[in-house]
Chains A and B, each alone.
Chain A
Amino acid sequence: MPLFEIANAAVVRFESVTFLGRNQEGSDVQLLDGITFSAPGGEITAIIGPSGGGKSTLIRLVNRLAEPAAGAVFLGDSDIRDIDPLQLRRQVALVPQKPFMFEGSVLDNLQMPFLYRHQTPPTSDSAEVRQVMSLARLEPDMPQRNARSLSLGQQQRVAIARALIAKPQVLLLDEPTSALDRRTSDALAATLREICHSQNLTMIMVTHDLRLTEKIADHCLYLESGRIVEQGRASDLLAYPMSEELKRFLAEPSEQEDGNG
């Protein structure tokens, strides 16, 4: 099976994707409906919209944590179903909203992706560890610290470093700033922007945070009730919303507050 030997950053493309979930009564509900879009390689695409609109579900389809009911997701030219799922998740990393830290030190956490692959894990003074530590702006003494005793902001950064250490082509972020205060969130935004450009990474991030979107996103999708209501360049979308739904969302203060936790 051909792996992705491409110099250009990978494009993620959705084609008429539908996703069925189950509600509390146990019946099927359509959580995503006819989703078609393209996240350009090497750029940041933000997915915004009210809670329960299907945003988190959407990115879980990119690394195949979940399976669409209809339609297809492409990475470059390949349908992701044609790629071995374990291989795919090495190319497409996902950082969940609430970072989970494995027991042990930060270094133990950074080593996990290598252990899963039966590879010799890098040591704390290796180039790999040092590179992701500096990309995620983690202090040099961090590898030795107990991962679970760190602050949420630090854990979020460790989760990003842990995702980057496998050298993915696509980075998916679910509400990266939801647990952070404004200052930490601004710092993380700058970090993400820099990582995206320096590593030629394709980023898709789900967020409530309009400030974050404004600051770093190149593209933007507005998702409500499982449908894409509007999409386009982030700056245009936020400055000149066309649809009533997006106008209402942008005018709603609580949604923006939510993003800054």
Chain B
Amino acid sequence: MDNQGLAHMGLLDLALAYGLVLLAIGLARLERIGQETQMLWASLRMVFQLLAVGYLLHFVFAVKSPLPVLAILIVMGAFSLQVMGGRIKRKMPRFYQVMGSSLFIGCGGVTFLFCSLVVHYSPWYDPRYLIPLAGMIIGNSMNGASLAAERLGAEMRERREEIETALCLGASARQASKTALRNAFRAALMPTTNTMAAMGIVSLPGMMTGQILSGTEPMVAVRYQVAIMCAITGAVAITAYLILLQGYRHYFSKAHQLNPIDN
């Protein structure tokens, strides 16, 4: 791999860096906070997991046909679905169907448009670009998606009275859930909005920092960062919107009746 711009880091240097973890563990031991074992275990996990992913990427980047790359993207998406399923305790009706299709259209669509129209590289499936870009888009959309789903569920439970009152006055299911949908959408967009606003002042984004460290011209790195943030925002908004648009329906029957709470 080419790393002309990057200062050389040898195994000895890495060991020195790991010494800082040992120092942290030593401090923890001194203060008897009782987390030394966990810290040691976590640091070892970090090393092994990253090594594994490094080897994996080494092979993946060598791939020269689109199908394996797409398969990897599908696995990433499925994994993020599983993470969301574990994180959200009270799932909306047909959770996986709603979340899966929204994530697929929202993230898949934005990733495709972004890679083909904004970042020009070829071939279109080049894993060096496609996998990290899709990873950033899916990872961020996952947060927005789980916020949307979680908030929609909470709103639908808390607002039963309001929703039924509206239905009694002749509102459709969509009209009756308007406030719930609006609040859930707002919650889903909040983190991305905050991140954008704080970017560059509160935090230097990881991708940009990484590019600069590996020798990319800062202004080029900035352009990439702006572009990826735009893609993330679009993907979060589309994914959350699709989740809400499909999700609220499953709380109602076809006759605009609010279904009884299941759990």
Contact = CB atoms under 8 A, between A and B. Distances in A.
A195 B172 CA distance: 27
Given A96-B164, A100-B162, A102-B162, A113 B257 contact: no
Contacts of B169: 89, 93, 112-113, 116, 162-163, 166
B255 A94 contact: no
Contacts of A93: 168-169
Contact of B168 (A21, A22, A89, A98): A89
A181 B154 CA distance: 34
B171 interface: yes
A70 interface: no
A219 interface: no
A63 interface: yes
Contacts of A66: 257
B258 A113 contact: no
Interface in B140-192: 161-162, 164-172, 175
A211 to B, nearest CB: 26
Interface residues of B, number: 18
A163 B175 CA distance: 17
Interface string A79-108: 000000110011001111011101000000
A86 B172 contact: yes
Contacts of B34: none
Nearest to A95: B168
Contacts, number: 58
Contact of B257 (A67, A94, A96, A117): A67
B260 A85 contact: no
Interface in A110-166: 112-113, 116-117, 162-163, 166
Contacts of A193: none
A100 B170 contact: no
Given A89-B169, A94-B168, A112-B166, 9 more contacts: A22-B260, A65-B168, A86-B172, A89-B167, A96-B168, A100-B161, A116-B172, A116-B175, A163-B168
Interface of A: 21-22, 63-67, 85-86, 89-90, 93-96, 98-100, 102, 112-113, 116-117, 162-163, 166
B49 interface: no
A30 B81 CA distance: 38
B253 interface: yes
A163 B256 CA distance: 18
Contacts of B162: 100, 102
A113 B170 contact: yes
Given A86-B172, A113-B170, A116-B166, A64 B255 contact: yes
Most buried by A among B167, B168, B253, B256: B168
B258 A90 contact: no
A22 B253 CA distance: 17
Given A113-B170, A116-B175, A162-B169, A65 B253 contact: no
Nearest to A97: B161
8 contacts: A21-B260, A67-B255, A85-B255, A89-B169, A90-B170, A94-B168, A113-B170, A166-B170
A124 to B, nearest CB: 18
A139 B174 CA distance: 33
Contacts of A166: 169-170
A86 B167 CA distance: 8
A60 B33 CA distance: 58
A202 to B, nearest CB: 16
Given A64-B255, A85-B255, A100 B172 contact: no
B27 to A, nearest CB: 51
Contacts of B161: 96, 98, 100
Contact of A65 (B170, B175, B258): B258
A86 B166 CA distance: 11
B255 to A, nearest CB: 4
A94 B172 CA distance: 15
